Every structure is written in C-alpha cells, then in structure tokens.
Amino acid sequence: MDFQYQRMLIQVTWVGVILSLLSAVAAAATEYPLALPGCPEKCGDVKIPYPFGLTEECRLKDTSGRKFLLTCNSTSGQLKPFSGNVEVTNISIHGEMEILMDNAVDCYGQPREQLEWRKRLRSGNYTISDTQNKFVAIGCDTYAYLHGYKNDKPFSMGCLSVCQDTSNVVNGSCSGIGCCEMDIPKGLKNITLEAYSFKNHTEVWDFNPCSFAFVIQGKKFNFSADYLYSLRRNETFPMVLDWAIGNEKCEVAQNKTNYVCGWNTRCEDPNNGSGYRCNCTNGYSGNPYLKDGCKDVDECEELKHNCTTDTQFCVNQPGSFRCECKEGYHLDGVECVHQTSGHSLRAIDLGFGAGIGLIVMLVCCSWLYLIVKQRNLTKVKEKFFKQNGGFILQQQRSRQENSTETVKIFTTEELKKATNNYDETLIIGRGGFGIVYKGFLPDNKMVAIKKSKIVDQSQMEQFINEVIVLSQINHRNVVKLLGCCLETSVPLLVYEFIPNGTLFEYIHSESKVSTISWEICLRIATETAEALSYLHSAASTPIIHRDVKSSNILLDSSYTAKVSDFGASRLVPLDQAEVATMVQGTIGYLDPEYLHTSQLTEKSDVYSFGVVLVELLTGRKALSFDKPEVERSLVTYFLLSFKENRLFEILEKYIANEGNVEQLKEVANLARKCLSLKGEDRPTMKEVAMELEGLRKMEKHSWVNINSNFEETEHLIAETSDSSKYDVRSKSTEVYDSVRDHVLLDFDDGR
C-alpha cells in the first residue's frame, strides 16, 4: 500500500509540474512585442513601444520631425528615457505619455532676477492632456499664469490664491484659499508657467515663503496645507501629454501610403489635438503600430469566455470564440442538454425531416431568385452597354478587322476579378476624372484600370472615337490604352501598368528627391516632349492632352517617361488649328491664354510642359500657398528670378551642384519661351523636343561648343515661331467635350 501511495503521489506531482509549464507557456504567448525587431523595448524600468524608439532606426519617421525619438540617459545611477530634456516616466500605446515637469517659483525677499520664475515646456509635437491634468497655483499671496498656443493661436489663463495664515486653509480643497486649480482646455501646446506675489515682503513668511505654479496629473494631486511651506524650487510634478500620428485625421490618412496602422486594427481620431491613432480591433491585442502587432487573443486559454457550465467547452476562433456542447449533450436553445431516447429521439426525427423540407424549399426559392436577378442584371448590362456607346464601338471595330491595334471590350466580371471586386487596397491613384486600380488579367498581366467619374451621354459617339484613336497610339512614351468596359454606369478604361509612380513624387516627395540625377531628369523631359510632339503632329488625328503636369507623367522601372491620363484630352480635326471648348485643366499648369479665350491650341500643352520643366529645375510645386506671396506662383517667381539674373538662387541644390551650368541655363531659357503669355510666341512641341535632344547629345559629347550650337538652335526656333503667327486659323467649331456647363479646375493628382 505504501508503494502504491508513493507512486500515486509521484504521478500527481508530475501532473502539477506539467500544468505549471503549460501555464508558463500560455503566459509567455500573451506577451506581445512592443518595439521593432532588434530594437530595445525598455529604458530602465520604462517600456518604449513603437512608434517611439531610442535610435533613428527604431522610431517612426514622422513628417513632424524628431517627435518619436527618445534618448536613454543615466541619472543617479539609473537609466531613464528623455524626450529632449524632459524625463519620460510612462508611454501608453493608447496615445498618452507621462513626464515630469518643473514648477514655476517666486520666493519672497529674494531678487527676482536670481530666480527661475518662468518655466517652459516646448511640446509642439504633443498636446497637453485636458482630461488628465490640472493647472495649480499654491501660496497665500499668489497669482499665476499659464500661457500657450491653442489651435495655433496664443492663449493665456490665470489662477489666484490668497490667505493670511493657515487657519482658513482646508486640506483637499483647492478653491482659492492657499490653493487654486483650473481645468486644462483642449488643444493646448507649448506652455509657459509664471508665478508672482502681490506684495514686496520685507520679511519671509515662515508658513509660506514662496508662490508656486505647476501643471500636474489630476489623480496624483490632493492639496494639503503642508504644501505652503514644504514645496521647494526645482521640484518636478507628473503630467500627461497626448500624442498621435501626423497631422491628418483618419479619413485622409487611411488613403495615403505612409498610413502606419498594422493588421487587425482600426483608426481613431483623438479627442484632443490633431493626427490619428491606431487601436487593435475587438478580439485582438498587441501594438497596433507594428505591421502585424495585433494578434488574436485566445479567449479560451486566457479564460476570457462565458462557456462556464459543466456541459460546455470553449473553442477559439480569429477575433472571437464559440461555446460547444460536450460529448453526450446537444444544444437546446442556448443550453446544452443531455441526449435521451424514446420521445426525444422521435422529436429529433420529426425536426430533422422538417428541416430537410425547409432546406429544399429555401434552395428552390433561392434558385428562382437567382434566375430573376441574373436576367435583371443582364438587362442592366445591356442598357449600360448601349448607353455607353457599345454598339458604336463594335461597328468601329468591325471596320478595323484587319488592324492588330483594335481596342478590347472587357466584361464587368473580368474587371471585378482583376481588381478583387475593386478592393480599396489596390487603389493606386485618385484624380479629377476618376479612380485608378491595379489589376491582374487571367494571363497575370498587370494593368491599371481607371473608373471614370462621369461621361457626357449626349456626346458618347465622340468619346468612342477618342477611345479608338487612343488605342491605336503606339509610342514608347505614351501609356498604352488596352481596352474598356461599357457594362457599368460609367465606362472603365484599361491601361498598361507603369510601376515606378509619377514624376511629381520624384520631384516633391522627401523620400525620393535627389534619387534621380539631372541627366535622367533631362531624359525624362525629352521623352515627354517627344510624346507630346507625336500626339500633336504624328498621330492619325492630332490630340491635345490639355492636362500636362508632373503627376500625369509616369515612370517605368528604368525611369522611362510615360504620358498618361487622357481624360481631359481633345481630338483636333485635321483642318483646324484651334478648337472652342470649356476651360479644363489644373490650376498652376493652365495656359493663361486658353483660360481667357477658351480657344484650345497645341500651344496650351507647350505652356503646361514649360511649368513641368521649371518644376524639374527648381524642385518647387506649381502652386505653394504656404510660401510668401511673391513665391506662391512658380511661373511668376521663376520668370521674375530669370529676369533679375537670380536663376541659380532658385534651382534645386542637388541639380545646381552637378556642374552643368550652361546646360541648366539653356533649359531654363527654353522653359521661359514655353511660358510666353501669347501662344504664338511659344515654340511647338516638336521644336522643344529637338532642342532638348540636342542638349542631351551635347552633354554626351562635351567637346561640342555648346554656345555656338545653341545660338543656331535659338535662331531656328525664333524663325519657326514667327512663321507660325501666320498659320493660326481663327476658325473654331464645337467638338466633343465631357464638361459642358461649368469650368472644371482640377486640384487632384490627376493620375
């Protein structure tokens, strides 16, 4: 018996050990990573969650500067994190940071200039928490101020505290007798504290030698009369700052490439300050700012479920759990009951038969419903196909049976499958004329699918003609139109996919600026000019693009230029030099002559291309409302600088440092000609392309005399431009235009 007892005791002991190990493993599994892989998660006793970090590689590169970079310094033999010179005591991934803040002091009987009676907190990157903090003034002869900026405007508030002695001071009361406290308003940043006394005391008040002012975390402050004589200078008080990502709310941030919220998260707008925050969705936990930081919570393992009866057991599932009945039990309503024989089994049989009958009936009804729905859907597709000019397009294609460049007509199902039912994660551009999705055809060919916003139904035949013409354009520097879908309320256009983004990004995005050399910039400009020249003079029907800008110039993997977005383009009859049309384009690139006369010519594209040239040279945007008035319009500022011989003051630094001084002068001079107010004074795109190509060749053959060759080229352009004055025809006619009753000035990226 003793042997059996010992054996049983050993078995129980082993079971206990195994259960302890399983509990330890489960506890370890619930510890979620806080920092980026390979980055420290702590400084001393303080956890440092991403987006914060102790090195440049470990923190989020936020556009607002060094906001998330902390330092880990040794103070009194202990490591502590600092933001600037402010000690950080805790960081919450829910948008709060706890710090230690000095007080402002004014002591009686001491010269003010020897006192640190003003305390500042430069918290431009953070907002003072209005729910966690209080502004407090302590003293019997005290008035204090809190200055700062609220919603980017100066803001001040004050607090007054008076008493003759400590007899009237009440512990726990901060209503103006020995202590004054005020709530912090929303949106407050960059605070300064000031403490003063009303009288010049000849004697020091033993019970209250100084006046104090500070901001403190409300739940950690309970006033006591002892504070009147126990507080000292250089004391620190706990306070809370609110932090968020960037300056934009969720609605805007979620559509940008630098959106940081990871998987299984939701975006939330903070109640205090600007920017946005990330939170794990229900059933998930971890750091929502890491790409895969929010992981599924095992409610069953962590006992966070309600499957508590003896007849149930818990089954975990992504983001949730479910309760199932143990063997020998079945679900009856919301409870698990014991399975029985006899009447219960017969009831089960009857229920099973009724269930089968109900299922058969539902299947039949669903089948009939799907048939009716499919017929209605077919009718709707036929209606849209006819409305969008599908029959006209089929007739045009039948006339071009011998041509290999016919446009393909896609079905709605093909494009839905290609875009995963228009998944928002596949959106690669939003413009004034529609949304562009990345898609994959059945042969794995990558395409760009443009979903237009609106098409003028009264001019659908001209639209179809334009689709036919664009599908036949075969130029290495023009994005190829592959086909369209006409079975939806607005047509869908299918283009070849260009992977490397827009020229606009390489000029203005901080992460891409200076990644391409001036030589590549000059090649891109030359290729763009050649494409526009082809559209103007070599296409079967001349085409005016009408929305030339850097965001409509795409770059492939080898930085070859591809002109895109013909949503605003116009076909020009061969017997006309200009057409009358409603003004359409993008502010900053728009030809002023076209804007005033509504007469669209090829020279309108020349002007817009001139703006792109100036963008390449200066690295500035066409319009910059955040700059001084003289610099807001890039064209005006460039022409003024050119006239005053200050060209190299406004050139992009990395371009100016490459040493191509004469070449840069010539390109700037060409841009100036393109930006002439009168169209007749501008060169043609063919002349522009020739001059840019000449500049490229001279760069490759440095032994060529640049000045002498360009004098000849300028003379040639001047003669050609003068002769064009007599070739402009005033005759105009009404042509296809998708905007008839209003002027559309597009501020979007247009891609």
Q: Looking at this protein, which amino acid is placed at residue 110? A: Q
List the binding residues for ATP: 451
* C-alpha dihedral, 418 to 424 to 426 to 428, nearest 10°: 130
Element (H, E) at 387: helix 343-387
Cite the beta strand spans of 538-588 per DSSP E.
543-544, 553-555, 561-563, 570-571, 578-580, 584-585
Task: Give 575-601 as a DSSP string.
Answer: T-SEEE---EE-TTTS-HHHHHH-EEE
Catalytic choice (547, 565, 591, 746): 547
CA 525/CA 680 separation, integer angstroms: 22
Structure tokens at 450: 């443009």
Beta-carbon count within 10 A of 667 CB: 23
Report the phi/psi class of residue 215: left, alpha or beta, with left for phi > 0 and alpha for psi in -120 to 50: beta
Q: Reduce the secondary structure of 429-456 to three states and give it as a string.
A: EEECCEEEEEEECCCCCEEEEEEECCCC
Residues that constitute the known binding site: 451
Going 250 to 256 to 259 to 263, the CA torsion angle's sign is positive
**Contact call for residues 469 and 520 (beta carbons, < 8 A):** no
Which residue, among 238, 233, 271, has the nearest Cα to 116 in the 3D structure? 233
Verify whether residue 296 is a known catalytic residue. no
Helix (H) / strand (E) containing 706: helix 706-723
Pairing of β 578-580 and β 599-601: antiparallel
Residue 221, both tokens? 């402050």
Q: How far is CA 564 from the centre of its chain?
A: 23
Reported in sequence order, the residue ranges of 11-131 that DSSP labels E, i.e. its strands, are 42-43, 46-47, 71-75, 78-83, 86-92, 96-102, 104-107, 118-121, 127-128
Burial (CB count <10 Å: 0-12, 13-18, 19+), residue 463: buried
Strand partners, 150: 153, 188
- For β-strands 335-338 and 329-332, DSSP reports them as antiparallel
Buried b / exposed e over 229-247, threshold 16 CB at 10 Å, is eebeeeeebbbbbbbbbbe
Catalytic residues: 547
